[in-house]
Structure 1
């Protein structure tokens, strides 16, 4: 049995000791894209399928064919005890995993980014966070022109207006859901109340990622990534209390405790005027109805975020959220369907139409 070497380290050594010696032209080398090792979460269990030394090599278009030939003919059969050629789930064959291409082609195929122009709002909103994370995580081992590094820096986080609108959307999603805990409990639907509380836990964790300007990964690593956030030591135990609560009253109190922490963290960001967190009865908003379910003043944070947005088209959008907030997209949707592209077109239509306003 091989001594486990984390994938990032294995790929770095593979580049330094083997692949770099096969390339005689300016290039960039990195481990990005899919895989737990790109996020730094791989374990010995990860090696049981489609795992081994791999790299992306970016060269000019004129050099792709020649560099590919040199790599194909120069790679050894194994490296550090791991086979260099192993199963590729993408095409179902045994092959090496040193992918030689241009940065332009990779961005076009993986992120639907064509050319050097800044991304449009609809592009940002329809790009799954997992895809952005796959490009900005991992590691760059070599970058002659600095182009790869600059692009990773450009995509490291959302522009300010996009971020503010996503924060507004997250507060909206939380605010719409919170009073349902009390209503389902009142109706005797304790299972339903617990499900709503679990949904709120997920949405509050997502808020922590947004507040810390960190892309969240797909569900397998969502909890692991959350545990590495600055919010986790304080917010995490309160969220654990929500999941473990034996009754709806305890559950509701813990939800409000967590939301107050998130409201305080929002104020600490300094991106909107400070809004004191307040817990009060739920204002239905119709016929002056008030229900005795204690909730946070989440709507105040929604409006503050929207007012801070400079782009008028963004500010007037109904705060439904970007693709991950709107769909909670899974691997099948973001990798194997046309929905991200179709959502790009949908966001563009909303941004350019008065019908997108409330």
Structure 2
């Protein structure tokens, strides 16, 4: 925690202060001529801009990533880490630079704490290629990425790699990597949109069917899943990587469409009977369908609600949008794939999404 009642500072700003006032001078004096990049990227709520005073209770504070060449990291990495431990101040603007490791294996995080000795700092030392391999599971980000390479990377990891701030980039390769990974190639984007509409299509009739069967709880659960799918669709349409569940609503809330669509989605979740739930869902379907039409990716598709075949439920028949988008996918690496999407559309298991190389192996086996 902060000392002396220091006011909360957004983590990105605290990282900038530590780099400019402390780390940069230390590196310049102790390792003159060293070429490196300094950034706050990767894990951490501050990278996505969602940190708050609550974030300060674990692995938050004066943090920084330093990217060296692979050779310099091997040759100088230990020395740089040691010099920083010895020379960094005990605090930066009231926030300790020392992180006390937890002894609890169920809570293996570091907490800011004052110390009398060298600081156990959170200045990580990496090379870009190794960091990308560990975080994204890519053998090389410099080569042209195939469609399945993109599909195997969780959007949270892409958001972490392209979010945050680069404070300095002498070699330039960190910034180049971030530019390359900033958004999906057009064909991958179209495929993911088709898959997301297909997800909506798979469940939109179940809201009515569950209610008809007397299962109002099941109807509400399916409606909530559809709300989540529509939020993901909006992020895709606005070319924003979707974060994992904790920050999905916050990320959606930043979109231009959120001001009008947010109350509609909350109305779906607040509905206590099927007619109200269906009406609000159809309002949401039509709004997102109109957003899809405005993208000009395909010829406009009628965004109006309609009956589900001969059954008395109103739906969008979202497969119409999925099929229209799928017809524009011409990439050979995508044409043979079913509309199952990327790893985020397969699963939201945090344990799976934290295994980039296992995910890549699963995509290699996909027919």
TM norm. shorter chain > 0.5: yes
Secondary structure of 1:256's match?
helix
Change (3 A) 1:7 1:29: same
Change (3 A) 1:274 1:92: closer
Contact 1:307/1:315 (CA < 8 Å) preserved in 2?
no
Choose which of 90, 105, 121 in structure 1 pairs with 2:130: 105
Q: Which residue of 2 aligns with 1:217?
A: 243
Distance, in Å, in 2 between the alignment partners of 1:249 and 1:273 is 32
Q: Bigger shift: 200-209 or 88-97?
A: 88-97
Q: Which residue of 2 aligns with 1:286?
A: none
Structure 1 residues not aligned, in runs of 5+: 284-289, 351-355
Secondary structure of 1:216's match?
coil
Q: Which residue of 2 aligns with 1:334?
A: 353
| Shift in Å, 1:9 | 0.3
Distance, in Å, in 1 between the alignment partners of 2:130 and 2:82 is 18
Q: Which residue of 2 aligns with 1:136?
A: 162
Contact 1:27/1:57 (CA < 8 Å) preserved in 2?
yes
Does residue 320 of structure 2 align to residue 300 of structure 1?
A: yes
Contact 2:190/2:326 (CA < 8 Å) preserved in 1?
yes
* 1:245-264 correspondence to structure 2 within 5 Å: 245-264=271-290
Q: Which residue of 2 aligns with 1:43?
A: 52
Distance, in Å, in 2 between the alignment partners of 1:312 and 1:278 is 33
Secondary structure of 1:95's match?
coil
Q: Which residue of 1 aligns with 2:341?
A: 321
* 1:88-167 correspondence to structure 2 within 5 Å: 88=101, 95-115=120-140, 116-167=142-193
Secondary structure of 1:208's match?
helix
Distance, in Å, in 2 between the alignment partners of 1:35 and 1:118 is 28
Divergent runs of 4+, >3 A: 66-70, 87-94
Q: Which residue of 2 aligns with 1:287?
A: none
Distance, in Å, in 1 between the alignment partners of 2:273 and 2:48 is 37
Cα shift readout 1:189-228 (whole Å, capped 9, x = no counterpart):
1111111111111111111111111111122211111111
Does residue 93 of structure 2 align to residue 80 of structure 1?
A: yes
Distance, in Å, in 2 between the alignment partners of 1:122 and 1:333 is 17
Secondary structure of 2:190's match?
helix
TM-score normalised by the chain length of structure 2: 0.88
Contact 2:252/2:258 (CA < 8 Å) preserved in 1?
yes
Distance, in Å, in 1 between the alignment partners of 2:71 and 2:207 is 61
TM-score normalised by the chain length of structure 1: 0.90
